[in-house]
Structure 1
Amino acid sequence: MKKKVLFSREEMTRLCVEALKSRGVEVDDIAMIAFKQQGKYTDNIKFETCRESVLKVLSLRDIFHHVLLSVEIDKLAEKKMLSSPIQDIIESDLGLFGVDEVLGLDVARLYGVIGMTNFGDIDVNKHGIVRKLNEDGKKEGIVHTFLDDIVGAIAAAASTRVAQVINEDLAHEEPHKQISLFD
């Protein structure tokens, strides 16, 4: 029997939510970071809008692959199933490693420079569940080297998506004259 490798958006969302939940991360945890991140720039945003954006981001194929890979690498490192020295580097979350941030940046870049900037802020300041994952990852037997960055990147992407949705709505509300690049 052929193995299933292609999934619908609904399936990818469900599998991402399950993978994150298996590591102690809820959709609302990510949405809270997106809510606080975007709340710095936008008045009256709704938490539900941020939650919807997280779910939308989790439905994307690239994000699906990043989430599952990140969760799996951390789990393998916890079980000491990687070869040294990469086992030790990932297990200790070596600051000079950076591959975990590269995966996070790849997720955030789907929402442009602002997504990457938001990711940088979340990664440096360790907001919400990202802080908890980072701190727990320092405990013996727990590895969150990739997970904290992927979760932060999803929050950054969702926050940026919220800004894009709000700006699109505003663009439709305000009367505009027809503009052309050639005027």
Structure 2
Amino acid sequence: MGFQGTQKSHRFELRARTMEQHQALEAAVGPLNSIAAYQRYLRGQEAFRAPLERQLAAVRVPTTLEDVLPVPLAALLTLDRADLGDAVDVVEETAALSFTPSAIFGILYVLEGSTLGARLLHQQAGALGLTAAHGARHLAEQIAQPGTWKQFVSVLDAEEALDLDEAAASANAVFEAGRRAFARLDDAERSNRRPDEL
């Protein structure tokens, strides 16, 4: 029976279709239980988020999404790294994406969804002595407006023309770019080389 007679929630459909890639990224990030782990997290985030934010800024998003666009974080990630004395060049991981309206919904599903996990990460950063003024600027920005995820989900579920295949493909491509970014950092650590030397 299930959803018979009703429209499926796009949100939960996307969650089901992207769960494997989402979990792979979360596993790659790991817990932020030391300054070294947190610095690795900042590098990995900047590596895939900076090019994605530039790509989004260069395309026209659907009108329905204009009020729920995620706050750009790349510049704040750079500042957070600088707070911790990290001047290593980040090697960007660019996702192979199309920017159809449905694909953009998928991209924003990942970026807006990250605000949920940001609350826990903010707590972990706080336990390391990091704050909105030093080292955890981007996390403070992410959690500053807790209602944005609900607003996005409302627009997502109301989008009758959404192509779930396209949306899921783009969301998975973003998750995978993030996983690759962290894998590159780990490869560099194992070989004692900077990521930009790989």
* Higher RCO (C-alpha 8 Å, min separation 6): 2
TM-score after normalising by structure 1:
0.32
The structure with the largest alpha-carbon Rg is 1
TM-score, scaled relative to structure 2:
0.30
